[in-house]
Structure 1
Amino acid sequence: MSDQPPGASRAQTLVLPDVSNPLRLYLARLAPSSRQTMRYVLQDAADRLGLGDADIFEVPWHSLQPGHVTALVATLRDDDYAPNTTSLYVNAIRGVMNEAWRQDLISHDQLLRIRSVKPMAGTRLGRGRNIRRHLIRDLLDVCAADPRPQGLRDAAIIAILYGSGMRKSESVNIDLAQVDFEQRCLCVMGKGNRQLIKYAPAWAFESLQRWLDLRRAQLPAGQPDDPFLFNRIRRGSHITRERITKHAIYFIARQRGQQAGVEIMPHDFRRSFITRVIEEFDLSIAQKLAHHTHIATTASYDMRHENERRRVVDDLDL
């Protein structure tokens, strides 16, 4: 007769999953959209460190020394990467090393030495633009002239992005149940896993309603509506039952901008929303509507100075 207590032999065979990989732990802490970006950044970092053939999850990140990070920043500088981009690389490595320290894979002294390596200093002129109201109307007119379902869908996307100031990732992840047409608000999941309420004007909700009415009209009889707002549309104007991606939002903004004769990025709608609120109200209410923790972040979105400087120069007549 065994002297072991009941269940002891089974307990001895149970093994907890390995949670010591610092890269997996770091990526698991990020939002899905940020996870994809940082995975690409770390893959490129591994390539630049001479580990391009290795699976990034097998790279011994905890073995990195300050000299490796310094060399990485140098290669990014040589390739003319913007300072903000080098900060992204350095911050990604710091995040992985923080997890390595928590798992006792590195000492606190090594962590501090890695943290001491600074990204490249300097700034670059922003690529964004302030989309004035007349240009928003031009973009909506371009969509209205498109007889395909894409016309109504893209108009609704532009209206919601500009009318509420939400990010493109928030717009693709929002569900129909999170939209309140009566109160004209949308409940979104923002950065930092924060649940936020976004408001939009009546004309934006009218544009959204026209798109939803078309989508529902094309559903087979008895089929329930899709749970999300914006669908992927394939060639032949076929509205799929698939949620649109944030990469598709980028192509929609670029395509509709080209049709209106300008170059537009999706984040320009958010920049323009914040700038207009600052222009017509004040910085404080813009911060609340943008859901920025720090008012300095909101101020960095203020693009009024570009318009003012251009207006001053235009007035310098001969």
Structure 2
Amino acid sequence: MNLDRSIDDYLAHVRTERGYSEHTVAAYRSDLVDLAGFASGRGVEGVAGIDLALLRDWLWTATERGLARTTIARRAASARGWTAWLHRRGLIAADPGLRLKAPRAQRTLPRVVAERALADALAALADRAAGDDPVAVRDAAIAELLYASALRVSELVGLDLADVDRRRRTVRVTGKGSKERVVPYGAPAARALDRYLEVARPAILAGVAEHGKNAGGAAAPTAVFLGVRGGRLGVRSVHRQIAAMLSSIPGAGPSGPHALRHSAATHLLDGGADLRAVQEFLGHASLGTTQIYTHVSAERLKQSYRTAHPRA
């Protein structure tokens, strides 16, 4: 079987049978297409020519190009998954990916925004939303809900009206692996979301109908969060909004929506929440993934100690 055909079949497998998200499938495709191009440059056109030496050379070339260790580790994982599938299907006699090693990805602590700084940023958004601008009202609701429910940005933009239970203050989201969970949100998020749904969202749709902004585009009548053209709001728009919101807050690390998720998880643990409960809240399959936030809390404690204790 040629390389391109095998990659297409493998990606169809992980999408339909393993339930991988489109984001994950796209990352796998990028990695494996790059591997196929590298193999072709070495005269390998079929899966039978894929061996451990070629895979190692591919990763070494990526290292020489200066790719991050996290990227190389992901590439190795993509290749291992593909070769294991080829072997199970009987398309290759042995699995060369079994012995493929990659540099261990450095695990850095996620950025956490201090509670007071985050409260001030949310208050500033609320002040801007006090006027009649429906986009400002929408943006305030987005930030409040991201922080209140520790949502992934893909989960937020994927919300439909039927997923929101305003009486119980919960949202039903579809996370990684197409797994559903129901998470709560608090009173500030409820006020911001109610105002958006009752006032701003109808105003956006009315503007679309009046000016024909969605001409040639796809309307999204069931989506909770809408763009100015009436379509479902995209991930990039939310990234830009949250990055702008956090830009004036000191601190190193990413400043997109995931910073709010990291902050919510850490603030829950700082407040005494059980680690298992936080795991359920975040939708993590493994408790080990959630434990990174205990390290964040410990580092924050050490920093406070060094700053405040007279004999630190």
Counterpart-to-counterpart distance in 2, 1:285 and 1:154: 28
Which letter does structure 1 place at the counterpart of 2:183? K
TM-score with structure 2 setting the length: 0.80
Residues 1:277 and 2:289 aligned together: no
2:141 and 2:189 in contact (8 A); partners too = yes
Quick check: 165-174 or 142-151, which moved more?
142-151
Q: Tell me the CA shift for residue 307 of structure 1.
A: 1.1
Look up the match of 2:234.
245
Partner of 2:156: 171
Q: Does 1:292 align with 2:284?
A: yes
Give the direction of change, closer, same or farther, for the CA distance of 1:73–1:136 in structure 2 (3 Å limit): same
Could you tell me which of 80, 97, 113 is aligned with 1:114?
Answer: 97
Q: Distance in 1 between the 2:47 and 2:164 partners? A: 43
Q: What does residue range 257-272 of structure 1 map to in structure 2 within 5 Å?
A: 257-260=246-249, 264-272=255-263
Map of 2:171 onto structure 1: 186
Structure 2: gaps of 5 or more residues: 210-218
Contact 1:185–1:198 under 8 Å retained in 2: yes
Name stretches of at least 5 consecutive residues in structure 1 with no aligned partner: 1-19, 53-57, 233-238
> Which segment drifts farther, 114-123 or 254-263?
254-263
| Residue 180 (structure 1) shift | 0.4
TM-score norm. by structure 1 comes to 0.78
2:297 and 2:286 map into 1 onto residues whose CA distance is 19
Code of the aligned partner of 2:286: H
Counterpart in 2 of 1:12?
A: none
1:259-283 Cα shifts (integer Å, max 9, x gaps): 4566612212111121122222221
Q: CA deviation at 1:94?
A: 1.9
Identify the range of structure 1 (137-146 vs 247-256) with the bigger mean alpha-carbon deviation: 137-146
Task: Check the 8 A contact 2:138/2:201 in 1, yes or no.
Answer: no
Q: 1:127-167 deviations in whole A, cap 9, x for unaligned?
A: x2112222222222332344543322222111111111121
Q: Residues 165 and 218 from structure 1, CA distance in 2 versus in 1: closer, same or farther, beyond 3 angstroms? A: closer
Secondary structure of the equivalent of 2:258?
helix
Equivalent residue in structure 2 for 1:26, among 1, 10, 15:
10
| Structure with max Cα Rg | 1
Aligned to 2:299: 306
Deviation at 1:176, TM superposition (A): 1.0
Question: Closer, same or farther in 2 for the Cα pair 1:179/1:76, shift >3 Å?
Answer: same
- CA RMSD after TM alignment: 2.9
- CA deviation string 1:9-41 (max 9, x = no partner): xxxxxxxxxxx9331233232311222222233
Provide the rounded CA distance (Å) in 1 between the counterparts of 2:88 and 2:100.
20
Q: Is the 8 A contact 2:276 2:287 kept in 1?
A: yes
Paired residue total = 284
Worse-matched range after superposition: 25-34 or 58-67? 58-67
Deviations 1:191-218 (A, max 9, x none): 1121111111121122112222212134
Name the CA shift for 1:316/1:218 in 2 (closer, same or farther; >3 Å).
closer
1:228: Cα distance to partner? 0.7
What does the per-residue CA deviation read over 1:252-306, in whole Å, with 9 as the maximum and x for residues that have no partner? 2212111456661221211112112222222122122122232221111331122
Partner of 2:216: none
Counterpart pick for 2:80 among 94, 98, 102 = 94
Letter in 1 for 2:224: L
**In structure 2, distance between residues paired with 1:270 and 1:167:** 7
Per the alignment, in what secondary structure is the counterpart of residue 104 of structure 2?
Answer: coil
Counterpart Cα distance in 2 of 1:293 and 1:170: 16
Aligned partners of 1:174 and 1:228 also within 8 Å: yes
Query: What's the % identity of the aligned pairs?
Result: 24
Return closer, same or farther for 1:150/1:165 CA change in 2, 3 Å cut-off. Answer: same
Asked whether the equivalents of residues 166 and 190 of structure 2 are also in contact (C-alpha less than 8 Å), the reply is: yes
1:255 maps to 244
Report how far residue 251 of structure 1 moved. Answer: 1.7
Paired with 1:225 and 1:80, the residues of 2 have a C-alpha distance of 42
1:218/1:73 CA distance change after superposition, 3 Å: closer
Deviation of the 1:62 alpha carbon: 5.4
| Residue aligning to 1:203 | 188
State the distance in 2 between where 1:173 and 1:62 align: 41
For residues 4-153 of structure 1, the aligned pairs below 5 Å read 21-28=5-12, 29=15, 30-46=20-36, 49=38, 60=46, 63-107=49-93, 109=94, 111=95, 113-121=96-104, 123-126=106-109, 128-146=110-128, 148-153=133-138
